Amino acid sequence: MKEVTLTLPEKTYERLVADAASAHKSPEQWIMDRLFTEQDARIAAAELHILLTAALDALGFQRLEPEKAKRLSELLQVRKERPLSSDETAELNALLAKAEVLELASLQRLAATLEH
């Protein structure tokens, strides 16, 4: 068995402990149950996404605004199903460029923080 250490924002950790306590389980067992229960796979994925988002927020990562992120996801899905129109392609490229700028700036801030 391998060990994983999570660093969570205080509010996220408190929620995790409260959810585990309400299920009469340790936080570790609660996480394991959520990760490996087939019927809760979609719920676990959503919860993992929330944990990842909280971790990125704690690190100061910037992301696209929710409506732009949703549109980016939509365009990426449409691109799998059919060729994009020229307007859609331009919109997709603009959203990808914006997301890349935010990610690069976030990574640069993180690297600068780690250097100090």
Tens digit of each residue's pLDDT (9 = 90 or more) over 19-29: 889 989 998 88
Whether residue 75 sits in one domain with residue 51? no
Q: How many domains does the chain have?
A: 2
User: Based on the domain organization, do 80 and 54 belong to the same domain?
Assistant: no
Q: Which of 36, 58, 80 is the last residue of a domain?
A: 58
Could you list the beta-strand ranges (E) of the chain: none
Query: Looking at the structure, do residues 75 and 111 belong to the same domain, yes or no?
Result: yes
Same domain for 54 and 70, yes or no, is no
> What does the pLDDT look like over 42-72, one tens digit per residue?
666 777 778 877 777 777 788 888 899 999 9
Q: Are residue 39 and residue 78 in the same domain, yes or no?
A: no
CA separation for the pair 19, 36 (Å, rounded): 17
Domain interval for residue 24: 10-58
Q: Does a structural domain hold residue 2?
A: no
Count of residues in the chain:
116
3-state secondary structure of 77: helix
CA–CA separation, 28 vs 57, rounded Å?
23
Give the SS3 label for residue 62. Answer: coil
- Decide: pTM greater than 0.85: no
pLDDT score for 8 = 79
Extract the tokens encoding 64.
Answer: 């696209």
Task: Tell me what the mean pLDDT of segment 13-38 comes to.
Answer: 85
Q: Are residues 47 and 74 in the same domain?
A: no
The band of 5, judged by pLDDT with boundaries at 50, 70 and 90, is: confident
In a domain, 34, yes or no: yes
Average of per-residue pLDDT across 63-85 = 92
- Considering only CA atoms, which of 43, 42, 59 is closest in space to residue 107? 59
Among the listed residues 24, 102, 17, the one whose alpha carbon sits nearest the alpha carbon of residue 59: 102
Residue 110 CA to residue 46 CA, distance in Å, equals 25
